[in-house]
Amino acid sequence: MKKLLPLFCALGFAQPALAANDINNLQALAQSEFRALSEDLGSALSYKPITPAEPLGTTGFDMGIEVTSTKMIKSEQAWKTATNSSSGLGTIYVPKLHIAKGLPLNIDVAAFYSAIPTTNVKLTGFELRYAVLPGGVATPAVAIRGSYTKMSGVDQLAFNTRGLDVSVSKGFAMFTPYAGVGQVWVNSKANVGTLTAENFTQSKVFVGMNINLGMTNIALEGDKTGGTSSYGLKLGFRF
């Protein structure tokens, strides 16, 4: 939490003067390094819901600013090489503007936009979620989600993820804990050099807590995708 709060307050959606970690040297990577970098990016840039399973309803909205942090445990050295930098990103922070809207039939849609500080990475993501069980006073909500994220801004790399997960949540007063499991499909293709495209799957588990304080909504989430942990915090409105 202490690591997330400074960036969460500053957001850092546009910091071109600090862009010291642009991905612009992929041709210098070995194939194994490219694979490690792709795996860490898959963990960091795949969709993070940071929301419970219960549907918003036809008049419902969930809007907020959020940030997730992911430690680049597999590819810190590869990141240094890919960015032609002497200092790698030990942890990558992804700030986002995120909005979700409830639709009829217990369906929710959501989207986010991110520009990652100190890099040339831009990221967009989309979600379609269906609550098989909408939940109630005595019963939990269960939802199935399909998601997609796509990187832009990096000429040397075409990168996207697709995800499918099942989540469950149950509200107690202002608190709604939730958890889920799923799978992420990563597609990573270098547009320079002789690197072979990396296409693979990663397992996903996540747990979180949504806290609704009336005019303010706070959500916390821990995620492990491909064996790499991410932590997320969202502040906004949910009604």
DSSP character at residue 196: P
Confidence class for position 12, pLDDT limits 50, 70, 90: very low
pLDDT given at position 16: 41
* Residue 237 covered by a domain: no
pLDDT given at position 85: 81
Query: pLDDT tens across 77-113, in order?
Result: 999 999 988 766 789 999 999 999 999 999 999 999 9
pLDDT given at position 88: 64
Looking at the predicted structure, is the pLDDT value of residue 27 above 50? yes
CB 27 within 8 A of CB 193: yes
Question: What average pLDDT does this structure show over 169-195?
Answer: 96
Looking at the predicted structure, is the pLDDT value of residue 185 above 60? yes
* Residue 233 covered by a domain: no
pLDDT given at position 21: 85
Query: pLDDT tens across 143-166, in order?
Result: 999 999 999 999 999 999 999 999
Question: What average pLDDT does this structure show over 199-208?
Answer: 98
Label residues 50-84 b or e (16+ Cβ within 10 Å = b). Answer: bbbbbbbeeeeebbbbbbbbbbbebbbebbbbbbe
Nearest to 82 by CA among 154, 159, 151: 154
pLDDT given at position 177: 98
Confidence class for position 6, pLDDT limits 50, 70, 90: very low
Question: What average pLDDT does this structure show over 122-133?
Answer: 98
The pair phi, psi for residue 69, each rounded to 5°, is -120, 140
pLDDT given at position 102: 97
Question: What average pLDDT does this structure show over 120-135?
Answer: 97
Looking at the predicted structure, is the pLDDT value of residue 15 above 60? no
* Residue 126 covered by a domain: yes
Average pLDDT of the residues of the chain: 91
* Residue 239 covered by a domain: no
Q: Which residue has the higher pLDDT, 213 or 15?
A: 213
Q: Please tell me whether the overall predicted TM-score, pTM, comes out greater than 0.75 for this model.
A: yes
Number of domains in the chain: 1
Q: What percent of the chain has pLDDT over 70?
A: 91
Distance CA 131, CA 129 (A): 7
pLDDT given at position 79: 92
pLDDT given at position 68: 97
pLDDT given at position 2: 46
Q: Which domain holds residue 144?
A: 4-228
Question: What average pLDDT does this structure show over 189-197?
Answer: 95
